[in-house]
Structure 1
């Protein structure tokens, strides 16, 4: 795939409660996987494209988000770096409202289109799924603001239901937080040799970690309260990301094709 002229340098893929795009210039993008709308703005002097995952006439459930269209669209805008925001449940007792910079993932999804390459075999390298340069910028921003954070492994489930207690007991042996939107997004980004990293917001304790019932309203409420902090963190991180990519993300597809 050939990219067009660079319209944006960095993309932000937003999750629940991500509504700052409303005051931005919108641009419709046609992709082989459907049409999406990107919202263009400038942060720290850099051109940014914002793509909310769930926004349409109705809230798109996580298993029906058009991940391929979203990633294809940012690539077509000339974007080389993607910052994802994700809502997660904690399997390690992280405080609600705290942040996790993801460093690896486990995929428990089952029905999603997980590759751009259906007609040929591409074994893309995901030994380092999250870009070290973007992760360093996120850590810098969090530390600059004195915000406590952790790093950890993300387990992605199919949804849209919440997980069972048994599933959480099993996944907690291998992962720290659980969510429904991080995969296949990160893999698709790798297939296009993009830099990708995620700032996860803990919205709840995972099923069985407390005696309380999990609710969607709880997730939305926590993310809504965290919006100002999220944008401040992302803004500082964007200013810290090097203009030239020196990481290995750009070589993710080398040697992958049979």
Structure 2
């Protein structure tokens, strides 16, 4: 039985389970229950915790996901490196469906979501200029390249509130700003991981072109899920390979994200 976990995977739309022969673990947090019970098992020699972001029955829309509870629960189990696969729309004609994007930047266009743990007990300003773990991104890109993915090794993810998709005007505006892909769940997940000094890496699978990129009626949720489902075996294999490729020792800046800051409470785990 796994007693300590250092890698967490947060599954997005279409990815509701990952580990075989896993143990279910219920974790209480100060922010309520996470999206679902966490399953803990192994991928090769690495202990892994898996949490379906929307719940196993996809009951939670993007704006109602308990992001703070999810990251807190994973850290409570020992997790320090997080992989976050998700389905996204492309804002660029040359980045087509089936492309794996490993973004290096993020734009927040959400509203009303709790996005910090430090809203009481004193002000804590966490640096977020580079929102993703450089070591995690390098491992993900190298693994995807070696296994034949159509790969974009960087790019900007713009996160919208949802649950609706973008209008054509919004989509064209995002493209005009030079952004690459659009999704609904990458924030505040990334900043909450940073506030807990965890490494966070997004694996974004493009399922469609967004409404303003090409003619047509725009994408539907059913089409997104169907495309992701058609690639689920390949995504599972990629996640397993990236888990194995993640460094054993964290030499990236992420563990030091809170150095010199006065925290109002101890971190879990």
TM-score (norm 2): 0.90
2: distance between equivalents of 1:111 and 1:61? 14
2: distance between equivalents of 1:22 and 1:50? 7
2: distance between equivalents of 1:138 and 1:18? 18
Q: State the Cα distance separating 1:64 from its structure 2 match.
A: 0.3
Aligned residue-pair number = 254
Tell me which residue corresponds to 1:17: 14
Q: State the Cα distance separating 1:254 from its structure 2 match.
A: 2.4
CA RMSD of aligned residues (A): 1.7
Q: State the Cα distance separating 1:243 from its structure 2 match.
A: 0.6
Tell me the alpha carbon deviations over residues 161-212 of structure 1, each in whole angstroms, 9 at most, x when there is no partner.
Answer: 1011111122111310000000000000000000001000001111121222
Tell me which residue corresponds to 1:134: 136
2: distance between equivalents of 1:58 and 1:233? 22
2: distance between equivalents of 1:174 and 1:209? 13
SS of the residue 1:223 aligns to: helix
Tell me which residue corresponds to 1:8: 5
2: distance between equivalents of 1:256 and 1:203? 40
| Residue number among 241, 246, 253 corresponding to 1:241 in the alignment | 246
Q: State the Cα distance separating 1:34 from its structure 2 match.
A: 1.0
1: distance between equivalents of 2:58 and 2:147? 35
Looking at secondary structure, tell me which structure has more strand per residue: 1
| Residue number among 212, 219, 240 corresponding to 2:216 in the alignment | 212
1: distance between equivalents of 2:47 and 2:164? 36
Tell me which residue corresponds to 2:89: 89
Report which stretch shifted further, 98-107 or 21-30. Answer: 21-30
2: distance between equivalents of 1:113 and 1:64? 10
Tell me which residue corresponds to 1:60: 60
SS of the residue 2:54 aligns to: coil
Q: Which runs of 5+ in 1 are unaligned?
A: none
SS of the residue 1:86 aligns to: strand
Whether the aligned pair in 2 keeps the contact of 1:123 and 1:257 (CA below 8 Å) is no
2: distance between equivalents of 1:193 and 1:179? 24
Distance 1:254 1:22, change over 3 A: closer
Q: State the Cα distance separating 1:7 from its structure 2 match.
A: 2.0
Whether the aligned pair in 1 keeps the contact of 2:42 and 2:48 (CA below 8 Å) is yes
Tell me the alpha carbon deviations over residues 114-144 of structure 1, each in whole angstroms, 9 at most, x when there is no partner.
Answer: 0001112111111221111111111111111
TM-score (norm 1): 0.94
SS of the residue 2:155 aligns to: strand
Note if 1:35 corresponds to 2:33. Answer: yes
Q: State the Cα distance separating 1:229 from its structure 2 match.
A: 1.2
Whether the aligned pair in 2 keeps the contact of 1:6 and 1:78 (CA below 8 Å) is no
Distance 1:121 1:207, change over 3 A: same
Distance 1:26 1:252, change over 3 A: same
Tell me which residue corresponds to 2:119: 118
Whether the aligned pair in 2 keeps the contact of 1:155 and 1:177 (CA below 8 Å) is yes
SS of the residue 1:88 aligns to: strand
